[in-house]
Amino acid sequence: SILHRARFTISAAQLSQLPPEGPPEVCFVGRSNAGKSSAINVLTNQRRLAFSSKTPGRTRLINMFGIPDPLEADAQLGYLVDLPGYGYAAVNRQEKQQWDQVLGGYLRTRNSLAGIVLVIDIRRGLTDLDLQLAHWIAPTGRPVLVLLTKADKFAYGKRIQAVAAARKQLKDIGALHALPFSATHRIGIEDATQHIENWISP
Ligand code: GDP
């Protein structure tokens, strides 16, 4: 997969620090600890490309991973964009506001945004914060891929139920695709990879 070529490009604390708009971007969002960094790492086939929200520091930033264009030096086919996790309890209001600005600002204003990967812990399902985020996403009209991760924790029947419940909750958002996913047990990886590749090079 072209996703395996992803390389760390830049960390940005503010939208103004992002590279100029251009190649398609696929962003990853989710509650802290939902499994977002594990998903990015397994999809890129790299052990430590994205940092867990348990590691303080870079996880409050927007981290961009470029996928180099094999035909043109220093050009990118696209970017995977790791957005700050939300819902982390130990933050003050000012910090929270800044995150909202970065996250909401990116989702609302980034023209290069080709698709959104929403990472949800299958056992928790969609929380209020996830639905709030979904309301930010809806007006952008961007396609959304929902990864119900840690699916290995559920037997097959419960997995199917959780996927159906998530689809029902999110039915107002345009092009939505929800699937069970597991970074540790490699569930849903091919399906997710195809979606993301399609957004980057249709
Ligand atoms: P992030 O904060 O959203 O980036 O979450 P992480 O990727 O760091 O994952 C949070 C915790 O969930 C870690 O302890 C991971 O090992 C665990 N985890 C992540 N993905 C999976 C999965 O697919 N299955 C299981 N069983 N655990 C997972």
**pLDDT per residue as tens digits for the range 78-118:** 999 999 888 765 567 777 777 778 888 999 899 999 999 99
Strands in 62-68's sheet, in edge-to-edge order, are 7-12, 62-68, 76-82, 25-30, 113-121, 144-149, 176-180
Maximal C-alpha separation, the chain: 48
Please list, in sequence order, all residues whose beta carbon lies within 8 angstroms of the beta carbon of residue 44, skipping any fewer than 6 positions away.
3, 4, 6, 65, 80
Half-sphere exposure of residue 66, counting CA atoms within 13 Å on the CB side? 17
What is the pLDDT at residue 58?
A: 54
The pLDDT value recorded for residue 172 is: 75
pLDDT for 56 equals 58
CA distance 26 to 17: 18
Q: Which residue has the tokens 């929800």?
A: 178
- CA distances 63 to 33, 57, 97, 170, 177, Å, are 17, 11, 19, 26, 24
Ligand 1 binding pocket, CB closer than 6 Å: 30, 32-38, 52-54, 85, 149-150, 152-153, 182-184
Nearest residue (by CA) to ligand 1, atom 2, is 33
Write out the H or E segment, with its range, that includes residue 63: strand 62-68
Instruction: Give the model's pLDDT for residue 91.
Output: 63
Within the chain, which residues score under 50 in pLDDT? Answer: none
**CATH code of the domain in which 84 resides:** 3.40.50.300
Count the domains in the chain: 1
Q: Which position has the token pair 């997969």?
A: 1
- Cα of 22 vs centre of ligand 1, distance in Å, is 31
**184 alpha carbon to ligand 1 midpoint, in Å?**
8
Nearest CA to ligand 1 atom 17: 35
Domain assignment of residue 162, given as a range: 2-200
- Alpha carbon nearest to ligand 1 atom 19, residue: 35
Predicted TM-score (pTM) of the model is 0.94
Ligand 1 center to residue 38 CA distance, Å?
A: 6
Whether the complex's predicted ipTM is more than 0.95 is answered with yes
**CA end-to-end span of the chain:** 14
Q: Whose CA is nearest to atom 20 of ligand 1?
A: 35
